[in-house]
A and B are shown apart, each in its own frame.
Chain A
Amino acid sequence: MLLDRTVRFLASLRLTVVCLAFAIVLVFAGTMAQVDQGIYAVQANYFRSLFVRWPVPHTGWSIPVLPGGYLVGGVLLVNLLFAHFKRFGLRWNKTGLLMIHFGLILLLLGQLATDLLQRESTMLLAKGQTKNYSEDMRLNELAITDTTDAKNDQVVAIPEKMLANGGEIRHPALPFTVKVINYWPNCRLFTNAVPGSVPVTATQGVGAALHVLTEPPATGMDDRSLPGAVVELIGPRGPLGTWLVSAMLGARQPFVFDNHNYTIALRPARYEQPFSLTLLEPRHDVYAGTDIPKNFSSRVRLRRPDTGEDREVVIRMNNPLRYGGLTFYQYQMAAESPEHTSTLQVVRNPGWLTPYLSCALIFVGLLVQFLIHLIGFVKRRKPSEA
């Protein structure tokens, strides 16, 4: 009895309408919130969450005020599945609906998969430069590199998350322990004290004379947080000293330990690939007599040593390169600058085909359903006209 009622509730159109209504409120609120919160924060709070949380001012609490994207999408999914088992069955006049709803299920699941599996990074190339890795747009890593062998660097990369957790970090390839003294999710460095800044407590490297000012994490679409940390390296015979590392400091800081040369730096997390790209020609076309951009394109050379592949590819606006499970898009361009740089956006998204499939499915489904209605409508009208 109770089970029956629950099933009927889960399959009901009423639930569908309620979910759709919540979805509308959520999308609208999530759009308006972008005016002052930034698209990235809104995505996380509104759409990639079970509940939209509202931080109560002055308390440090945040209370759920709206169901988030995952909850609304999840309930809709359950509702759809139940509706099919309970109400529709397989009837010819419901084929369109079946296709639409199956397409929707595919779309929702595909987007969930994308949310969980998609990884975005960028590859900044100067003209003539070759790279076999891309860099994450938000995540960073503490890279400690043994540069003793000039031909072959040995890198140990510690994700930023481990720095944020604090404590001591050991790695079999490192002859010393990394101890996190301070960690700031977003900070600026200054050579002189500014209001609100504190002196850095590092004893080694460039950080010894700097001041640090902490800031709230960046939220904008194109802003990135610049984290920083002070770490102490502790060898078997005691501490080596403390270093300031920061995403704001571009250069690697060298030091020597046990006759080995090392460098230490906090850098964007890298994703290495078995192939490399060389930027041959960045192009920035404008309309004659104006500076209105007409097209951006990068001619690159793609080389993969293990298969012997070696060819040239042009990556343009609206025309990405799909290769090795990754997609390379033309992202930013400074073809006029002295460095002639071009930035490619590199996306790994195993679910990229699902929207294409579901789109086709739903379109055909809508068309079928629309035609069924139209035929019915015309048939109904015929007798009334006579």
Chain B
Amino acid sequence: MKTPVSTRIIPWLVVAACAWWVVAALWPPRNSGAFDTDGFARLPVLLKGRLQPLDSVARNSLLIIRGKQSVALPHGGSLSPTDWLLEVTMKPELADKLPIFRVDHPELRGLLRLPPTGSMDVSYADLEPQLAEIDKQARHADSVDAAARSTFDKAVLKLGSGLIVYQRLKNSLRPESADDFHAEVAAFQEALAPGMEAAGLRDKKKPFDEAALRRLAGLVQRYQALADEAYPLVIPPTHPGMRRDDWMNIGSALLTALQTGQVPPAVMDYATMVSAYRQNKPAEFNQAVASYRALLAGKFTPELRKGDREFVFNCWSPFIKSTTLYLLVFLLGCGSWFGWFRLLNRTGFYLLALAFAVHTAGVVFRMVLEGRPPVTNLYSSAVFVGWGAVLLGLILERVYRDSIGLVMASAIGFLTQIIAHNLSLDGEDTMGMLRAVLDTNFWLATHVITVTLGYSATFVAGFLAMVYVLRGFFTRSLTATTARTLTRMVYGIVCFATLFSFTGTILGGIWADQSWGRFWGWDPKENGALLIVLWNAIILHARWGGLVRERGMMNLALFGNIVTSFSWFGVNMLGVGLHSYGFMESAFIWLMVFIATQLALIGLGLLPDQYWASFRARTPATGSAPLPAGAPAASKT
């Protein structure tokens, strides 16, 4: 049969449009105003042991403060993370009025004398009169055992930690009270020599210039306070003899001038940026950014490049793009079962390939930024589970061309990206440094990847079974051929899942043997992995032994979804064991919802043939059903 021209051309047009949308975003946005805010956003700093651009500092701080990466302005529009950071650090009188703190706990609102209804977002200025009270309540909540904290305790702790980050950010590039920081630093530089001389004379009990000493001492005290408060370490270790990661915050960098007699040039550049921004002088601001970049170039070129790359990654946000594409593919795939099969299937397949390419690019980009294998924490495991499932879906679709691979892959891809996105809102940096035991690329690259691919494959089998039950029960589209194909797919995928989950589990045991001295300790995370292996083994053996056939295997595969989600998330909620990530309540509710849906599907899967739309269509009226075909349908209504 000849393919119509439209069926050949339209898919390519759609893919080209989407590819353009994806690739165009790689060129980061230009500065919206006269200030070179992008240049500022790219500047590398060290925070929580990790080198990152100021843009990431802004984004991660916003996540801690409000669980979102953007700031909505009170009169419409929004502020980019970097623009917000510029205001907080340089014009806090503006930032203080932005409603960025989310206070929605009724008791907390009552405590803070906020109206029970109305906007849940409040500004620092609104909270300022209550800071002492918040601090008192947060201290109390902190003293309560984590498991015993009430929702009020948690709300007040979250607000308290957000406020601390906010106050520290305000003092990160200058003391909050400095109006013209550039002039102040210049005055400090001038006060250094006479002040030091006076101090030297005083120590030798000789006459000294008291005013010069007092002037210097006042500033030193101010910068000592600044050193305690400032949040990111923004000044690079330029002095000889310092280690490469000995970055300093602005306060401690100013204090080094007491030894060297010279304010570090990097501090001067930041001070110029601050004053120029405050006095609305874009040319001077841009000049200072350029001068600072020139200062870093050479010895700190890798750091500069890291800042640039991560900034591009942040702006590109490949995972949000692939999520959108997955949604599109899902709709196309489902639509293709109801008409225009070739057109929709082909468009969907090309788009899935594009989405997968974007997803892969995102994973690789992160690997380069982190210098790590793809899975290092729960967030990246969600990204990778989706990646593995989409890869399998692409292969299945390439072999069978029946849209089943499309629907399954895009559904898992979409859901795992949503899970990852929500995990990233948790307030933890998704590229955070790894604690001692995990600091091993070898085991992360072997054990973690194989186990995660095992999760992917088990979910793929489970989602294929979902397609089987949903199509078979609710539509007439599950033909005998499709059902056989699905069964063969599930069987193959379960074999694949067994291979990976088993190998991954054993590798985990070997890692445990290397780091804790025992191969197997019945730790919850280990047990979770073992459950997946055992479950896949049951499916295979039940099938070989003829204990289950088509429908039985689908139901077993559906239950595999429950086993895998328990092993992936459930065990982290037990709060015991060496591996636990911490308690996640809202995730717990979603896990229960997911398990309930799977149980419901298994319930459908257990219903006799005559309730299934597809099988009813297939069985002749005088078929082998124990009851006349019409009877159950009649009794149901």
Task: Tell me, yes or no, whether A binds B.
Answer: yes
Interface pair B541/A295, CB less than 8 Å apart? no
Tell me which of B399, B513, B535, B542 has the highest count of chain A C-beta atoms within 10 A of its own C-beta.
B513
Select which of B516, B519, B577 is within 8 A of A111 by beta carbon: B519
Q: Which of A168-176, A196-204, A283-291 contacts B (4 or more CB under 8 A)?
A: A283-291
Assembled-state Cα–Cα distance A64/B516 (Å): 32
Tell me whether B517 and A329 are in contact (CB under 8 A). yes
A196 to chain B, nearest CB (A): 24
Checking A39, A114, A363 against B522 with a beta-carbon cut-off of 8 angstroms, the contacting residue is: A39
Closest to A14 in B: B545
Binary contact readout B465-506 vs A (1 if CB under 8 angstroms, 0 otherwise): 000000000000000000000001000100110110011001
Known: A24-B534, A293-B436, A317-B436. A352 touches B575 (CB 8 A): no
Q: Is the CB of A355 within 8 A of B436?
A: no
Which residue of the partner chain A has the closest CB to B233? Answer: A289
Q: Is the CB of A30 within 8 A of B506?
A: no
Report whether B534 and A34 are in contact in the complex, using a CB–CB cutoff of 8 Å.
no
**Contact assessment for B246 and A359 in the assembled complex, using a CB-CB cutoff below 8 Å:** no
Chain A contacts with B in 338-371, Cβ cutoff 8 A: 345, 347, 349, 352, 355-356, 358-359, 362-363, 366-367, 369-370
Q: A313 an interface residue at 8 Å Cβ cutoff?
A: no
**B518 interface residue, CB < 8 Å from A?**
yes
- Choose the segment among B29-37, B44-52, B138-146 that binds chain A (4+ C-beta atoms closer than 8 Å): B44-52
Chain B nearest CB from A265 CB (Å) reads 27
Report yes or no: B547 in contact with A320, Cβ–Cβ below 8 A: no
Q: CA separation between A204 and B616, bound complex, in Å?
A: 89
Interface assignment of B247: CB less than 8 Å from any CB of chain A: yes
Mask, B215-233, CB within 8 Å of A = 1, is 0000000000000000001
A101 to B518, CA, bound (A): 23
| Contact flag A289-B522 (CB < 8 Å), given A20-B538, A294-B439 | no
Flag whether B93 is at the interface (Cβ < 8 A). Answer: no
With contact pairs A16-B541, A296-B436, A355-B506 given, residues A288 and B522 touching in the complex (Cβ less than 8 Å)? no
B573 to chain A, nearest CB (A): 10
> What residue of chain A has the Cβ atom nearest to residue B507's Cβ?
A359
A193 at the interface (CB under 8 A from B): no
Q: B518 and A118: CB pair below 8 A?
A: yes
A145 at the binding interface (Cβ < 8 Å): no
> Is the pair B513, A363 in contact by a Cβ cutoff of 8 Å?
no
Q: Inside 8 A of B443's CB, which chain A residues have their CB? A: 318
How close is A136's CB to chain B, nearest CB, in angstroms?
14
- Across the interface, which residues of B come within 8 angstroms of A95, CB to CB? none
B247 close to A290 (CB less than 8 A)? no
Contact call A329/B506, Cβ cutoff below 8 A: no
Are the CB atoms of A13 and B545 closer together than 8 Å? Answer: yes
Residue of A nearest to B536 (CB): A20
Residues of B within 8 Å of A374, CB to CB, are: 492
Query: Are A13 and B534 within 8 A (Cβ)?
Result: no
**Contact assessment for A294 and B436 in the assembled complex, using a CB-CB cutoff below 8 Å:** yes
Give min CB distance, A153 to chain B, whole Å.
Answer: 30
Whole-angstrom distance between the alpha carbons of A111 and B243 in the complex? 46
Inter-chain CA distance A369–B517, complex, in Å, is 32
Of residues 507 through 549 on chain B, the ones whose CB sits less than 8 Å from some CB of chain A are: 507, 509-511, 513-524, 527-528, 530-531, 534-535, 537-538, 541-542, 544-545, 547
Interface size class of A (residues with CB under 8 A): 35 or more
Residues of A within 8 A of B506 (CB): 107, 355, 358-359, 362-363
Whether A27 pairs with B527 at a CB distance below 8 angstroms is: yes
Task: Verify B534–A20 contact, CB threshold 8 A.
Answer: yes
A28 contacts partner chain B, Cβ-Cβ < 8 Å: yes
For window 9-56 of chain A, which residues contact chain B by CB distance below 8 Å?
12-14, 16-17, 20-21, 23-24, 27-28, 30-32, 34-35, 39, 42-43, 46-47
What residues of chain A have their CB less than 8 Å away from a CB belonging to chain B? 12-14, 16-17, 20-21, 23-24, 27-28, 30-32, 34-35, 39, 42-43, 46-47, 107, 111, 114, 118, 120, 286-290, 292-296, 317-320, 327, 329, 345, 347, 349, 352, 355-356, 358-359, 362-363, 366-367, 369-370, 373-374, 377, 381
- Nearest residue (CB) in B for A43 is B522
Q: In the docked arrangement, what's the CA distance between A13 and B545, Å?
A: 5
Residues of B within 8 A of A362 (CB): 502-503, 506
* A35–chain B nearest beta-carbon distance, Å: 6
The distance in angstroms between the C-alpha atoms of A366 and B454, with both chains bound, is 13
Q: Which A residues are CB-close (under 8 A) to B314?
A: none
A288 touches B499 (CB 8 A): no
Query: B245 contacts the other chain (Cβ, under 8 Å)?
Result: yes
The answer to whether A28 and B531 touch (CB under 8 A), given A13-B544, A355-B510, is yes
Set of chain A residues within 8 Å of B535, measured between Cβ atoms: 24
When C-beta atoms are compared, the residue in chain B nearest to A110 turns out to be: B519
In the complex the two chains form, what is the Cα distance from A24 to B527 in whole Å? Answer: 9
Any chain A CB within 8 A of the CB of B433? yes
For A347, the chain B residues whose CB sits under 8 A away are 517-518
By a CB distance below 8 angstroms, the chain A residues around B563 are: 24
Whether the pair A295, B49 counts as a contact (CB closer than 8 A) is: no
**Which chain A positions have C-beta within 8 A of B574?**
31-32, 34-35
At the interface, yes or no: B440 with Cβ under 8 Å from chain A?
Answer: yes
Q: Which residues of A contact B108 (CB under 8 A)?
A: none
Q: Which 4 A-B pairs have the closest CB atoms?
A: A287-B49, A13-B545, A288-B245, A347-B517
Selected contact of B542 from candidates A17, A32, A369, CB within 8 Å:
A17
Q: Kindly state the separation between the CA atoms of A17 and B541 in the bound complex, as whole angstroms.
A: 6
B503 contact from A31, A295, A359, Cβ within 8 A: A359
| B435 at interface by CB-CB < 8 Å | yes
Q: Is residue B263 within 8 Å, beta carbon to beta carbon, of the partner chain?
A: no
Q: B544's closest neighbor in chain A, by CB?
A: A13
Contact A288 B46 (CB under 8 A): yes
**B211 at the A/B interface (Cβ < 8 Å)?**
no
| Contact between chains at A20 and B514 (CB < 8 Å) | no
* Contact indicator B531/A120 (Cβ below 8 Å): no
- When the two chains form their complex, are residues A377 and B492 in contact, meaning their CB atoms are under 8 A apart? yes
- 25 pairs across A/B with beta carbons < 8 Å? A12-B545, A13-B547, A17-B542, A17-B545, A32-B574, A39-B522, A43-B521, A287-B50, A287-B245, A288-B233, A288-B247, A293-B435, A295-B436, A317-B440, A318-B437, A347-B517, A349-B518, A352-B519, A359-B506, A359-B509, A362-B503, A369-B495, A373-B492, A373-B495, A377-B492
